[in-house]
C-alpha cells in the first residue's frame, strides 16, 4: 500500500484511544485484563503535521501532511446520477397483468407466515445473551430494544428497520418507509425518536445508476427526519 492509502485505510472494528503521556502501560493493562489487543501506534506533536513513519524498515518518513488540511480538505465527489431504465420500466408496470398464484389463499397465507422474514425470530435471538451488563428492559421480540441508563431514571430505545425490496422498487419511498417504521417502533415503547443512523448497502457509488439510488434514499431520510 502507498502511504496515502495507509492514511485513508479503514480499521474495521478497531478503536483509537488518545492517552496522556506516561499512562500507556496503565491503559494497556486494562486491555490485557479483558484479553484485548492494544498497540501504541503514534504520538501527538505540536507542529500541526500528520506523519506516517515506516516502523518496519529504517524509520524513514513515508508521508507528511498538514493536519488541518488532512481533516478539512478531503476530496469531494460531485457525481451526477441517472435513473436506470429497468427501474422506470418496473415502476410503470401494470401489476394487474401479473399472473395470480395457483395455490389457494390459505396455502399462500401459511407460506407467508412460515417465511423467515415474517415468522418469529426467537430461534435466532435466544442463542445470544441479551442481558449483558444487565441493562435490558425490553427483551428481544418487542417493537424496540429498551436499555436502562444505570444511575438514572432514563432509558434508551433502539430499533433497526429497513425493507430492501421497497428501496429496490423506489429508493426515495423505501427510505421514507424505513425511517417511519423505526420511529413507530421506538414510539411504541413510549420513547421519543431523536436521532438515526444508517447502514448503507448500495452498489458502487461511482456508477451513475447506483448514485441515483443512494442519493434518493439519503434525500428521503433527510426530509423525513426533519419532520
Average pLDDT, the chain: 85
**Residue where the block lists cell 433527510:** 222
Domain 85-99+131-226 classified CATH 3.30.70.270?
A: no
Domain ranges across the chain? 3-72, 85-99+131-226
Tell me the pLDDT tens digit for each residue of 127-162. Answer: 888 888 889 998 888 899 999 999 999 999 999 998
Query: Each residue of 171-191: pLDDT tens digit?
Result: 999 999 999 999 999 999 999
User: How would residue 101 be classed by pLDDT, with cut points 50, 70 and 90?
Assistant: confident
Q: What is the pLDDT of residue 126?
A: 86
* Cβ-based burial of 185 (10 A; exposed 0-12, middle 13-18, buried ≥19): buried
pTM for this structure? 0.66
**How far, in Å, are 67, 90, 134, 157 from residue 147 at the CA level?**
39, 42, 9, 6
- Of the pLDDT bands very low, low, confident and very high (cuts 50, 70, 90), residue 51 is confident
The terminus-to-terminus CA distance of the chain in angstroms comes to: 45
Amino acid at each position: 500500500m502507498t502511504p496515502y492509502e495507509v492514511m485513508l485505510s479503514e480499521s474495521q472494528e478497531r478503536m483509537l484511544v488518545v492517552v496522556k503521556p506516561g499512562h500507556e502501560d496503565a491503559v494497556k493493562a486494562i486491555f490485557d485484563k479483558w484479553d484485548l489487543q492494544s498497540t501504541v501506534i503514534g504520538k501527538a506533536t505540536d507542529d500541526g503535521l500528520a506523519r506516517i513513519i515506516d516502523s518496519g524498515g529504517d524509520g524513514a518518513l513515508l508521508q507528511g501532511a498538514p493536519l488541518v488540511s488532512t481533516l478539512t480538505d478531503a476530496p469531494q465527489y460531485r457525481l451526477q446520477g441517472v435513473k436506470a431504465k429497468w427501474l422506470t420500466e418496473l415502476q410503470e408496470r401494470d401489476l394487474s397483468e401479473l399472473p395470480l398464484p395457483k395455490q389457494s389463499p390459505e396455502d399462500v397465507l401459511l407460506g407467508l407466515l412460515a417465511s423467515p422474514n415474517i415468522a418469529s425470530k426467537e430461534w435466532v435471538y435466544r442463542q445470544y445473551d441479551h442481558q449483558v451488563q444487565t441493562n435490558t428492559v425490553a427483551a428481544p421480540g418487542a417493537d424496540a430494544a429498551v436499555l436502562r441508563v444505570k444511575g438514572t431514571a432514563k432509558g434508551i430505545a433502539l430499533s433497526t428497520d429497513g425493507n430492501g425490496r421497497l428501496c429496490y422498487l423506489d429508493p426515495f419511498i423505501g427510505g421514507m418507509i424505513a425511517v417511519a417504521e423505526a420511529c413507530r417502533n421506538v414510539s411504541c415503547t413510549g420513547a421519543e425518536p431523536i436521532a438515526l443512523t444508517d447502514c448503507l448497502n448500495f452498489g458502487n457509488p461511482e456508477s451513475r445508476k447506483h448514485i441515483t439510488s443512494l442519493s434518493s434514499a439519503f434525500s428521503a431520510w433527510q426530509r423525513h427526519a426533519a419532520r
